[in-house]
Structure 1
Amino acid sequence: MPLNTTVGMEKIEEHFAKLSVARRSAATKEPTYLLDIDTSKNVQEESGCIVAVSCSNGSIRLYNKETLSLLRELNKQPGFFNGVKFSHSNPHVFSACTDGTVKCWDMRLSGKTPVQMFKGYPSNVLISFDINCNDHIICAGTEKFGEDAVMIFWDGRMSSQSTGPFRPPLGVYSETHSDDITKVRFHPTDPNILLSGSTDGLMNVFDISIDNEDEALIATCNSGSSVSYVGWAGKKYKEVYCLTHDEGFCWWDLTNLDSDQPIPCLKIPDVRRMIKVQNGNLDYMIGGIYHEKADQLLVVGGSNTGTIHFITSGLSGLKYMKSLEGGHSAIVRSFSWNTQDDSLLTGGEDAQLLLWKPGATERSLAKKDRMKIASSLHKRVKVHSHDSYKSKKKYI
């Protein structure tokens, strides 16, 4: 975990202090929660990047990043979308669905039907997914069904040799989690390293280049609670962290996995109890941002009235840094940090997509009231199972 130098912290605080709303998406016919956001990495419209948003009404909306104008809406399909992710190298956007498929859409087309579907096994309900950095492998995590919660793998490369409407799995991991697999995240630069989190309380790190699941398991990190969010941080991304459904935070340093040295670890059962924000309340945690330029991990939380709170993390613990107010009017569920221009996209239960930039001035638009939606969302908050899970690998 990076030490919080005065110069580095001053730069981060100065930058976030200047963030203000630059654009706000226009109202849509159907109010909906904005659950997940991703920005295109290589494909642009004539006037800028494309932003994909997964919505609670079962659709994916595509926006122009600079204007937040709605470009098109990918057709609703049976099932509920869980997450949205752009390809790293081609004009495709993916989303996992509760119908047991990962759908691939070509942004150059109308969006009436996906160009490829990756199908799981019967009874699979996909609740998390990711694509590795070279676009070769897709991984999805499932809800627990019976005694099984599995991670499914597909070959993500588009091929003219593919037969039929569905791409079958390459295989599964079925032994390393005992409950819903809420998050899977590939390493940002190593296509073979995968991180997973589950309501069983565990975060697992795998090397998927190893054929055997047991041998592929590099480390198991026990958060002691139901995991809601996982991420990578640190120089060369040698650190992992998670948030829990009871608003806890855990961090591990994986640098010394092959040695007998103790691995630094930070565990905070409830961030809300130890952090006092400047205005309002810290009601829930959203996720994390690793600020590469400053080598600093920021934990992101929010208030029920729409304020966003940023908290710095270090060896000494967590420290409140800055709040963003005047944007959202309800719970913020999703965000996307752009390392190219240090801008921030946020979405929430007020059905708004916001673009924040340093020193921006927003056009005069009325802030929406909280949307009173009979949401179909089901929060995956479970009582943590205290059944012990034994691994042959290093248990942190």
Structure 2
Amino acid sequence: MASIKLAAQSSLPVAPDSYIYSVTATTPRTDLKFDTYQPISSSDKVAAISSDDSLLLLDPSTLKVLPNGHIRGANSSLTCVKPYAPVGEQANIILTAGRDGIVKAWDLRTCRTAFTLSAPSSSRNPSAGPDAISAIDCNAETNAIAAGTELEGDGPGDVRIYIWDHRNPQQPRIAYQESHTDTITELRYLPYPSTASTILMSGSTDGLVNVFNTTIEDEDDAVLQVSNHYSAIHHTGLIGDNIYALGTDEKLSFYVQQNPDLDQPDPEPYSLGDLRDQAPCDYAMRIWNGTRPFIALGSHNLDEQGLGFFPLSPEASSATSSPRWNLNTTSGFILPGGHGEEVIRDYFIAGEMKSVYTCGEDGSVKLWVQ
């Protein structure tokens, strides 16, 4: 295992005992299919969101807060952050969303909102205000922004996926409201038919991973694929050309994408099971779908604190067999020490592991470099 050294650690002006939920950066993405980004440049910004509802814009090398880079109350009960830019372009817009039911687009040149999108009021209780937003994704190639909502109370219940054209922010272009029955935890645009993608994947704590053709308004016709992971979805996305589902119980499974011939049955999924039984870790994070995919596994016990990026390798298989990806725990990269005893909530990689940003429940952002 190769170690990546700690290069910088933030000291953020957030409320005591705040968590840093998510971290991202403005560096250009090179491909919609793969999680590959150009190396960080001095003109880039690192963005992080905190449990005290702050959006923080940081210098990418020192992690110091930039001038006007502490946006307090970005949303009420902030949950999500995503850069908004076409593939190959540096992001000038950062999206945030929260349980206030609002998506805000922050213009990084002015640190002011460029536009806002509001989820409609809950059909159960219209007087309660907009649906709380728990997940977002976007594709600037098609001006599309998608938001998934959180279930209030015990499931099953009503949750929705809203899709806006940001040029017409008054109301969503599409609302899907029957395909999930619990909180949406992941939305991902897939690279089909091109970077001008109209295919959206969703994951939920109801255990389902769905794939939609968002050019179709009728929900029954829009659903291209449904996969049942049988445990709450923590993250879902692509690994190579396959779909992965990672549960909150740390179980990982793989699925083929829907065969265009609907009469052709898809093979059963391949499950790796509980990753804690296969690697020295306490929790699993999402897969980084590069040309060489990794999964991030974290440990916060006193003996083995750190974050490891372990490669996943495919087995040769026929067109009719399940996708089989196997975990290699003897190679990869380790971030020794991680965030100490605290859980690492998110990471962002630029330049093929040249720069790795992490954030966690210790209230800090860290930069690691090879």
TM, length-normalised to structure 1: 0.75
Please say if 1:247 is aligned against 2:244: no
CA contact (8 A) 1:135 1:156 kept: no
Q: Pairwise mapping of residues 225-374 of structure 1 onto structure 2 (< 5 A)?
A: 225-234=231-240, 238-254=241-257, 256-258=259-261, 260=264, 262-263=266-267, 265-273=269-277, 275-277=278-280, 282-292=281-291, 296-305=292-301, 306-313=305-312, 314=314, 315=324, 317-320=326-329, 321-322=331-332, 323-329=334-340, 330-339=342-351, 342-358=354-370
Task: Tell me the residue number matched to 1:139.
Answer: 146
1:312 Cα deviation from its structure 2 partner: 2.5
3-state SS of the aligned residue for 1:73?
Answer: strand
Please say if 1:194 is aligned against 2:190: no
Task: Tell me the residue number matched to 2:230.
Answer: 224
**Residue 340 to residue 64, structure 1, CA distance change in 2 (3 Å):** farther
What is the CA–CA distance in structure 1 between the aligned matches of 2:40 and 2:308, rounded to whole Å? 32
1:78 Cα deviation from its structure 2 partner: 5.3
Q: Pairwise mapping of residues 88-107 of structure 1 onto structure 2 (< 5 A)?
A: 88-89=85-86, 91-107=92-108
CA contact (8 A) 1:239 1:251 kept: yes
CA contact (8 A) 2:251 2:272 kept: yes
What is the CA–CA distance in structure 2 between the aligned matches of 1:95 and 1:177, rounded to whole Å? 23
Task: Tell me the residue number matched to 2:76.
Answer: 79
What is the CA–CA distance in structure 2 between the aligned matches of 1:40 and 1:135, rounded to whole Å? 19
3-state SS of the aligned residue for 2:45?
Answer: strand
Please say if 1:35 is aligned against 2:21: yes
**Residue 325 to residue 262, structure 1, CA distance change in 2 (3 Å):** same
Task: Tell me the residue number matched to 1:376.
Answer: none
Corresponding letter in the other structure for 1:302: G
3-state SS of the aligned residue for 1:94?
Answer: strand
What is the CA–CA distance in structure 2 between the aligned matches of 1:239 and 1:95, rounded to whole Å? 29
CA contact (8 A) 1:34 1:349 kept: yes
**Residue 221 to residue 133, structure 1, CA distance change in 2 (3 Å):** farther
1:87 Cα deviation from its structure 2 partner: 1.1
What is the CA–CA distance in structure 2 between the aligned matches of 1:120 and 1:187, rounded to whole Å? 23
What is the CA–CA distance in structure 2 between the aligned matches of 1:85 and 1:352, rounded to whole Å? 19
What is the CA–CA distance in structure 1 between the aligned matches of 2:84 and 2:120, rounded to whole Å? 24
1:299 Cα deviation from its structure 2 partner: 1.3
1:261 Cα deviation from its structure 2 partner: 6.2
Q: Say how many residue pairs are matched.
A: 323
CA contact (8 A) 1:40 1:51 kept: yes
> Which stretch shifts more, 336-345 or 101-110?
336-345
What is the CA–CA distance in structure 2 between the aligned matches of 1:289 and 1:120, rounded to whole Å? 30
Show CA shifts across 1:30-59 (max 9, x none). 342111111113599993311110111111
TM, length-normalised to structure 2: 0.80
Show CA shifts across 1:343-367 (max 9, x none). 2110111122111111xxxxxxxxx
Please say if 1:215 is aligned against 2:224: no
What is the CA–CA distance in structure 2 between the aligned matches of 1:354 and 1:125, rounded to whole Å? 29
Please say if 1:154 is aligned against 2:164: yes
Corresponding letter in the other structure for 1:233: I
Determine what percentage of the aligned residue pairs are the same residue: 28
What is the CA–CA distance in structure 2 between the aligned matches of 1:317 and 1:210, rounded to whole Å? 36
Corresponding letter in the other structure for 1:129: I
What is the CA–CA distance in structure 2 between the aligned matches of 1:92 and 1:118, rounded to whole Å? 14
Corresponding letter in the other structure for 2:8: R
Show CA shifts across 1:81-123 (max 9, x none). 1111111145111011101111111111144xx2321001113
What is the CA–CA distance in structure 2 between the aligned matches of 1:118 and 1:96, rounded to whole Å? 9
Corresponding letter in the other structure for 2:337: G
Show CA shifts across 1:299-326 (max 9, x none). 1121124511223323253232343213
1:271 Cα deviation from its structure 2 partner: 1.2
3-state SS of the aligned residue for 2:220?
Answer: helix
3-state SS of the aligned residue for 2:276?
Answer: helix
1:268 Cα deviation from its structure 2 partner: 3.1
**Structure 2: gaps spanning 5 or more residues:** 30-38, 123-130, 315-323
Corresponding letter in the other structure for 2:364: Q
Task: Tell me the residue number matched to 2:128.
Answer: none
